[in-house]
Structure 1
Amino acid sequence: MISSLTLVDWRQRVAGLYDAVRAQPDPHAGWDLWRTGRDELFASHPQTPLAADDPLRGSGLPYWPYDPALRFDVELEPVPESEPRLVDAGDDGTIQMHPIGRAVLPIGGTLDVWWLRQYGGGIFIPLRDGTAGDGSYGGGRYLLDTAKGAWLGGTDRTLTLDLNFAYHPSCRYDPRWQCPLAPPGNTIDVRVEAGERL
């Protein structure tokens, strides 16, 4: 029961961070708020994926410097209907990821945009770029997960993507977590030296 309540609190705080980011007119200042808030959660929250003796609790999570050129609005391009991608999530069961579109990145490459059926639904965009295993977690990072409040804006046809907000999934820090990792349609060759790094 206690872990369930602390997990709810964790998710509420993460969503609150993104609320603060969206309320900030300057994207760089919003990113600074997000980083500070994440460091506080990872340092002391009961649901942190960091071990008690992990030095990142004191130093904070490492990031590349903010790059304003890596924030853009992209159109959600249609994709053919296909079967959902099923991902084993351990105790959380099987995650169903349904493709809803594709985002063309101005820096090169495309990312599949997924709709998660769990948690009441949400847009999910994982990212595995040229830094995977050489600067960032080998399994990739998450760019957008609206089930956790990670929404930077958009319209009925566009998404605001800011690669500076790419972050490692919890399984990067603790093997007890089973995370959906970036499938082939979310893999690009370009090195995205923005967001959370090793």
Structure 2
Amino acid sequence: MSSHPSTAWLELLDWRREASALYARVREELRRDPESAHHLWQTGRNILFKTHSQSPLDPQARAAFQELPCWPYDPALAFSARVEAVEPQERLSVPSSTGQEMPLVRFGRVTLPLGTLDVYWIDVYGGGMFLPFRDATSGQQSYGGGRYLLDTAKSADLGSTPSDITASGELVLDFNFAYHPSCFYDPRWSCPLAPPQNVLGVPVRAGERVS
């Protein structure tokens, strides 16, 4: 955050608004052309990282920034999946990158061709659906702490198919939009890490990468 506290919170609010608007445009474009939606997402994130005061990058890194490295769009890594209920629902805490604990509720799972992932609700005020993962690229071609597929508290949400999720329970889970948490770019940020049960045994070469 910037040095003046009140200004910093307003800047953070603006970041959230800009991110929300970006994902709204991405969801709309995703219905027409997934590859175009992916380009829109990349372009929008690059602009925010380069120009916004609440960028995960510090000012020096922003000055040198060009673009976030991504694998080319791969339609074979785009899925829709029904959320299967898990009973009993489990409350747990996962460590963050700074050692703080993040309370989560494990309320469902999705079964994908790549493996099974648990789906969480962030158990704090406002909450949000949260789907982090690690895979065989983690720690080599992508961040060792994992990447995020969904984080609706931060507007990272690709929607559902069809749009009425209560009717279908199917989430759009496109790994081409997987992204690194802010702590990957600067240790001042505190980010929940992917828990051990959300590790895929295969490499997912889609979305953001290290370089």
Distance 2:115 2:51 in 1: 37
Which residue in the other structure is 2:78 paired with?
Answer: 71
Q: Secondary structure of 2:57's match?
A: coil
Structure 1 residues 181 and 12, CA gap change in structure 2 (3 angstroms): same
Corresponding residue to 1:109 among 115, 126, 139:
115
**8 Å CA contact retained: 1:113, 1:124:** yes
Distance 1:29-1:23 versus aligned 2 partners, 3 A rule? same
Select 1:174's aligned residue among 186, 201, 207: 186
Q: Is the 8 A contact 1:119 1:147 kept in 2?
A: no
- Aligned in 2, Cα 1:105/1:171: closer, same or farther, shift over 3 Å? same
- Asked if the contact 2:158–2:172 (Cα under 8 Å) also holds between the matched residues in 1, the reply is yes
Q: Distance between the aligned counterparts of 1:89 and 1:7, measured in 2?
A: 20
Q: Which of 153, 164, 167 is the aligned partner of 2:176? A: 164
Query: What percentage of residue pairs aligned between the two structures are identical?
Result: 52
Does the 8 Å CA contact 2:138/2:144 hold for their aligned counterparts? yes
Structure 1: which 5+ residue stretches go unaligned? none
C-alpha contact (below 8 Å) 2:50/2:62 kept by paired residues: no
User: Aligned residue pairs: how many?
Assistant: 196
Is residue 9 of structure 2 the alignment partner of residue 21 of structure 1? no
Q: Who is 2:91 aligned against? A: 84
Task: Classify 1:56/1:124 alpha carbon distance in 2 versus 1 (closer, same or farther; 3 Å).
Answer: farther
Runs of 4+, deviation exceeding 6 Å: none
What amino acid maps onto 2:21 in structure 1?
G
| Contact residue 141 and residue 167 of structure 1 kept, 8 A | yes
SS in 2 for 1:59: coil
Tell me the C-alpha RMSD between the 2 structures.
1.9
- Residue 157 (structure 2) pairs with residue 151 (structure 1): yes
What does residue 131 of structure 1 align with? 137
> Does residue 40 in structure 1 map to residue 52 in structure 2?
no
Q: Distance in 1 between matches of 2:91 and 2:64?
A: 37
How far residue 135 of structure 1 moved from its aligned partner, in angstroms, is: 0.3
Is the Cα–Cα contact under 8 Å of residues 44 and 57 in structure 1 kept in the other structure? no
Deviations along 1:115-150, one digit per CA (max 9) or x if unpaired, are: 112351211000101100110001000000111112
Measured at CA, do residues 4 and 94 of structure 1 come closer, stay the same or move farther in structure 2, by a change above 3 Å?
farther
